[in-house]
Chain A
Amino acid sequence: MSNGQPDLLKDLSTEETAGLLALGTRISLQSGGELFRLGSEASSLYLIERGRIALTLPMQVLGRGEDILVEERLPGQTVGWSALIPPHKFTLKATAPLETEVLALSRMALLEHFSARPGVGYLVTRNLASVIGHRLQVFQAMWLREMQRVVELRGR
């Protein structure tokens, strides 16, 4: 990882980190390559090792369906946590705007690993809650900012 310890593996010991990373499968994406698609089955989550992942949602722009950037994730960050959160469906589309490498961690492998090492499971789950919580806070603030604008427009 180019940015130190990945956000998902924060506070894990070197051995615990190595043990978890050993479960992963490296995936290389060319520029423009798709990692996962909106609505598809989420069976793996991904740690970004190199490059960048753009998370997009579809929107109608001038009568055409376009994928609009919602978030961009960098090396050391996690995408695809729907793999660990029911109903295990991706709610965004993930693509690589440039050549990118990610480590795919399958849900089955992770859950098995956590069953055998509850301490690791606890730390990863805590880190995951932090990733999810951060996104919730960001989008809550963004939503409120837009609402403020709607109120201002109606008041004119």
Chain B
Amino acid sequence: MAMFLMVLCMSLLALAVTFVAFAGATRAQAESAPQPKLKPERALPQHFFADAPVDRPTVPPSVLLAQIEQHIRLEQAAAESFIERPTPASLHGRTTSPFVH
């Protein structure tokens, strides 16, 4: 019985020593390990699925409407001219429309 108790005490002592040694080793490793550097904060893109928005000049609605009207008038004149003289060249003749330049 005394022998058994002695073996048990020795085992518990060995277990305790092992635990203390392991804890000390891991703490030292954790302290010596370099901390991961935080990446500098970057401005997140506003659009995930598209390139950065292009700065387009904003056209006032009245100007845009006038341009559309001018385009339609010019296109109609070009079409009328094609009907007068139907040729491939007259069908695809260029106009001064702001929408095609």
Contact = CB atoms under 8 A, between A and B. Distances in A.
A61 B66 CA distance: 12
Interface in B22-77: 61, 64-65, 68-69, 72-73, 75-76
Interface in B71-90: 72-73, 75-76, 78-80, 82-83
Contacts of A62: 61, 64
A156 to B, nearest CB: 13
Contacts of A134: 83
Interface residues of B, number: 17
A70 B72 CA distance: 7
Interface residues of A, number: 21
Given A64-B61, A144-B91, A145-B92, A69 B75 contact: no
A70 B79 CA distance: 13
B90 to A, nearest CB: 9
**Chief secondary structure at chain B's binding surface:** helix
B100 interface: yes
Contact of B79 (A66, A138, A149): A138
A122 B32 CA distance: 103
A68 B91 contact: no
Interface of A: 59, 61-62, 64, 66, 68-72, 134, 137-139, 141-142, 144-146, 148-149
Interface of B: 61, 64-65, 68-69, 72-73, 75-76, 78-80, 82-83, 91-92, 100
List 5 tightest A-B contacts by C-beta distance, closest first: A141-B79, A138-B79, A141-B82, A142-B79, A137-B83
